[in-house]
Chains A and B, each alone.
Chain A
Amino acid sequence: VDIITQKADIGVNHDTTYSQIVADVLGMRYEDINMRSFNDVGFELMTADGSCNLCSNGYVVRKAAKRCKQRLLEAATTACLSEARSGEVSYQEIPPAFPGMEPDDLDVKDSYVFEKANPENKKTVAEVVKNTPQTQSAYQEPVYAYAWHRQGRFGAEIGSHRLLRQAHFIEVEVDTETGEVEITNVVNVNDVGKVINWGGCEGQSYGGMYMAMGGARSERMIYDPMTGVLLNGNLEGYKWTTIKDVGPIKTILLETSLGYGPYGAGGIGENVSDHPVTLLGLAIHNAIDKWIDSYPITPDKVLKALGKI
């Protein structure tokens, strides 16, 4: 099965997650689904990244897959005509994979179409679609379906929202002699409604938090005050957080099915990297009873707040 859509893999499991949804709806094995990049002609599909795009676009992927399944079962139960040439043109009826049945009598599982009343009566999907276009000698209409939706102001379809419920916690230790802030513990709780792909979803949560800590603690583009020249336009001068600079990050994903996306997905969104930045100032205040609201919170700012400089 090919998913034909625009592809923009930025490392967020775009191919995997949409293929999972199609496989689930169609009854195919995951391995039998491909994402086919179709970047030059429409068919936009947002990447399965922040902004809850998997939640709002998984909805339309599922719709297309449902329609495609119906088409597949129709192809399994509908005869087609072949053209025979020997002198004069004549037509021969080719029986369907499941003659004498209706689409509702069948279902699909593990890439097999099977009779519901008698599951041993089964044929591979490949067998069912063998007369559809692959060469010039196709006899059957392609098993093809499409779906679209207006993403709308808030997400999937009009009035359906991308819903995020998140809670973030950090613990810090402040070195009052140097102003260094050590992030010792981080916990992220995300109610995503439904996790489509655990690796991708945990990665989004973990990675977003990691980026937030960098933004809170050390990242800043620094310009020469006299000329405006960027002074730290490299990865040594721009202090991107290393793995040693943040303590353990625990990710908890909740599945309450309370989202509007497919399977009750609500999305994980961008907040994993936006809101936790402000937590650093709050945690430092709890530690030293001083407010610092200028980011990034570098050691010099902590020392100044403490009155050491």
Chain B
Amino acid sequence: MRKFNNINAKTLDEAVSALGQHESKAWICAGGTDLIGVMKDDILPEYPEFIVNLKTIPGLEYIKEEGAMLKIGALTKLEDIAIDSVVKSKYTALAQAAYRTASPHLREMGTIGGNICQMNRCWYFRDPRNTFYCIRKGGNMCFAMAGDNRYHSIFGAVQACVAVNPSDMAPALVALDASIVTTKRTIAADDFWDVKIPNSTVLDEDEIVTEIRIPEVSGKSAFIKFAIRKSIDFPIVNCAANIGSSNARICLNAVYNKPYRATKAEDAIAGKSIDEANAEAAGSAAVSGSTQLAMNKYKIQIAKTMVKRAILACA
């Protein structure tokens, strides 16, 4: 790692001000589980001159219910979310997603805010020392298109990039109709990742996530993840489902540039009984319109199965 200046922000205003002052030269550090790796591996053309540490800002780590809303501070650790009894019983998909994220060690350090803001894990993008100067970094091609794309998008490219969003928390938040509160505004989860490359989220350079809000869940929710290993791994496909008596919200992730609302699956299951046949039909509907790359056709079959099983888990 190269030298940088560390700013231990005492307040959100101080953090925002530092980001605004130094613009792209200042990067945020919450748990640091992704940031430190990015810096050590030197994957990007730029390197920060300032790191703005958010852990020194008090009052951003909490899980509470207020009114008919679950509120989680942005710096809340994933492990705390995974084991919280209220989250487990009433917002089940979120607890399950937190539990399946990474490994115990990483969950003790990683925050929900950081998790939803993380960059993609495309191995061309992430190769150390910026080996592949791809379209997300200012280059003019996507190396995965003609390369090894076994983990990449099954719903096409965004500006020629086929990398996927790797978050486990993101689809759970979308399925639970969450809102993300920042220092500037409140953004619906549906819109938080709706962005053109190279950004991962719609956040401005000097905008910080402060809180996640989830309305009380009326039906049942579930999260299911498919990966090669049962710990550590980012998802190959994951899926969160929130099934009410007459409506459904189903979100896939790791299948597209951003979390993928499976609206066709929602239409197929909403108001219907949760059984094998209906869930199977919803799974098939979810992947209609999918488009494979050279090496990832299997992901379509897995995505179909993940939707089906997430729905069945809500029975």
Contact = CB atoms under 8 A, between A and B. Distances in A.
Nearest to A237: B123
A298 interface: yes
A93 to B, nearest CB: 68
B230 A179 contact: no
A245 B103 CA distance: 13
Contacts of B231: 242, 244
Contacts of A225: 147-148
B143 A226 contact: yes
Contacts of A237: 123
Interface string A222-258: 1111100101100111010110110000000000000
Interface string B293-306: 00001101110010
Interface string B218-251: 0000000010111111100000000000000000
Nearest to A230: B127
Contact of B127 (A218, A231, A239, A309): A231
B150 interface: yes
Quick one: which of B124, B131, B298 has the most chain A CB within 10 A? Answer: B298
A4 B231 CA distance: 44
B277 interface: no
Contact of A178 (B127, B131, B302): B302
Given A178-B305, A224-B143, A225-B148, A242 B298 contact: no
B1 interface: no
Contacts of A177: 301, 305, 308
Interface in B144-165: 146-148, 150
Contacts of A223: 148
A269 to B, nearest CB: 28
A38 B143 CA distance: 51
A150 interface: no
Contact of A231 (B124, B226, B302, B308): B124
Interface in A141-168: none
A218 B229 CA distance: 8
B233 A178 contact: no
B233 A239 contact: yes
Nearest to A217: B228
A224 B147 contact: yes
B296 to A, nearest CB: 8
Quick one: which of A236, A298, A299, A304 has the most chain B CB within 10 A? Answer: A236
Interface string B7-40: 0000000000000000000000000000000000
B147 A226 contact: yes
A180 B229 contact: no
Given A224-B147, A229-B131, A309 B301 contact: yes
Nearest to A223: B148
A217 to B, nearest CB: 8
Contact of A236 (B124, B146, B233): B233
10 contacts: A177-B305, A177-B308, A218-B229, A226-B147, A229-B132, A236-B234, A242-B230, A298-B228, A309-B297, A309-B300
Question: What 4 pairs between A and B have smallest CB-CB spacing?
Answer: A300-B298, A244-B230, A231-B123, A177-B305
Interface of A: 177-180, 218, 222-226, 229, 231-232, 235-237, 239, 241-242, 244-245, 298-300, 303-304, 308-309
Interface of B: 123-124, 127, 131-132, 143, 146-148, 150, 226, 228-234, 297-298, 300-302, 305, 308
